[in-house]
Amino acid sequence: MAVAKVQTKSNVLTDLDLNRPLLEVEDLRVEFHTRDGVAKAVNGASFSVERGETLAIVGESGCGKSVTSQAIMGILETPPARIAEGRVLFHGIDLLKLPKDTRRRTRANHVAMVFQDALSALNPVWTVGYQLAELFRQHRGMSKKDAMARSLELLDLVKIPAAKQRILEYPHQFSGGMRQRVMIAMALALDPDLLIADEPTTALDVTVQAQIMRLLKDIQVERHMGLILITHDLGVVADVADKISVMYAGRIVEQAEVHEIFARPAHPYTKALLKSIPRLDTKGQRLEIIKGLPPALTNIPPGCAFAPRCTYAQDVCRSQVPPLSTVAADRASACHFSSEVIQDV
């Protein structure tokens, strides 16, 4: 069995099982205790990511995508958030059970995250170069000179023009696309095994979106990282993802390889999302919309949460929660009528 060693706070060496997937999330459940009741933000999510693989987690705003990524990173604000159940395994080690300091060091050295609002994530009073260099000084013990040299290499890696001059500039002096590139550089600074990108193209125009997605994919391939892309737009990940998990009301309702999702969706929600994406072959036609709104997470209806908006819904959908079941090789769907959905495509 292939293993690696990681140092824990107590100086006890723990084995990383390299024969296991890079990341395994098993039955993750996250709750928020609010005045209106308990909001089940993530309600039994399970998925895995291999090294060198790109997983896209997609769904409407409020479906639990970002909360899932924050739970993996260990940055949920508790309270009001609480991880009620589940495991987050990194090469077989449950990150949720590690001591706080050990988990922080593991996160710093193995898992990184690109946040959706780069301007808020970057410190406005320090130069971009200082913020990058601080990572190397704190976590690698580098001198100021060496840390700045390494920071310059990262800015070149993410294709910041005139990096030697711009390394001395402040975040507000960068465009939205350039700030996002800086955030990617910071996330890559410590050579993570897994990169989580939470809505990395939010508020960017279509051309810049494509550039950022291509940059992420190129770096992921070059470094053989695992990559999780969080987005509400299936079209954004069409060319970069290997597999897709579709979330709705805190649950994963469909999982499949990317080409299967686009060719033959097996869940009505996935099918509806795809029909709402503008396409070249539907020019001039009115886009379809998903009627209604997602349910309040404090009051998720019985049965299938998508049933009130679903054209396939029948009585069984309103009373029984459909499990995420295998419907074909390497794909699963949480729908009582998945076979009919596939046939109707």
Given this model, what pLDDT does residue 31 score?
Answer: 94
Pairwise CA distance, residues 84 & 78, whole Å:
12
Contact 184, 114 (CB under 8 A): yes
Structure tokens at 286: 């009115």
Q: Where are the alpha helices (DSSP H) in 143-301?
A: 144-157, 163-166, 176-188, 206-223, 258-263, 268-275
DSSP letters for 328-342: ETTEEE--TTHHHHH
What sign has the CA pseudo-torsion 213, 218, 223, 227? positive
pLDDT tens figures, 317-340: 999 999 999 988 888 999 998 888
Contact 304, 317 (CB under 8 A): yes
Using DSSP, state whether 218 is helix, strand or coil.
helix
E-only strand ranges, 236-340? 243-248, 251-257, 325-328, 331-333
Side chain identity at residue 6, one-letter code: V
pTM to 2 decimal places: 0.88
Count of beta carbons in the 10 Å neighbourhood of residue 79: 8
Given this model, what pLDDT does residue 14 score?
Answer: 55
Contacts of 304 (CB under 8 A, 6+ apart): 310, 313, 317, 318, 320, 321, 322, 334, 335, 336
Given this model, what pLDDT does residue 15 score?
Answer: 66
**Rg from Cα positions in the chain:** 21
Given this model, what pLDDT does residue 118 score?
Answer: 78
Given this model, what pLDDT does residue 13 score?
Answer: 31
Pairwise CA distance, residues 129 & 149, whole Å:
9
Using DSSP, state whether 307 is helix, strand or coil.
helix
As to burial, measured by CB atoms within 10 angstroms (0-12 exposed, 13-18 middle, 19+ buried), residue 322 is buried
Q: Where are the alpha helices (DSSP H) in the chain?
A: 65-73, 100-110, 118-121, 128-139, 144-157, 163-166, 176-188, 206-223, 258-263, 268-275, 338-344
Contact 215, 159 (CB under 8 A): yes
Given this model, what pLDDT does residue 278 score?
Answer: 76
Contact 310, 269 (CB under 8 A): yes
Which residue's structure tokens are 């805190």?
A: 250
Given this model, what pLDDT does residue 345 score?
Answer: 61
Given this model, what pLDDT does residue 167 score?
Answer: 94
| Closest C-alpha among 160, 158, 131, 136 to residue 147 | 136
Using DSSP, state whether 301 is helix, strand or coil.
coil
Pairwise CA distance, residues 102 & 322, whole Å:
38
pLDDT tens figures, 83-122: 999 999 998 889 988 888 888 888 778 899 988 777 788 8
What are the pLDDT tens digits along the chain (345 aa)?
Answer: 444 444 433 333 356 777 888 999 999 999 999 888 899 999 999 999 999 999 999 998 889 999 999 999 988 888 889 999 999 999 888 998 888 888 888 877 889 998 877 778 889 999 999 999 999 998 888 999 999 999 999 999 888 999 999 999 999 999 888 898 899 899 888 889 999 999 887 767 788 888 888 888 888 888 899 999 998 888 888 888 999 999 999 999 999 999 999 989 999 999 999 888 877 776 777 778 888 889 999 999 899 999 999 999 999 999 999 999 998 888 899 999 888 888 776
Which residue's structure tokens are 């990940």?
A: 237
Domains of the chain and CATH, by start = 23-110+192-344 (3.40.50.300)
Which residue's structure tokens are 């996935």?
A: 270
Contact 238, 250 (CB under 8 A): no
Q: What is the DSSP letter of 318?
A: G
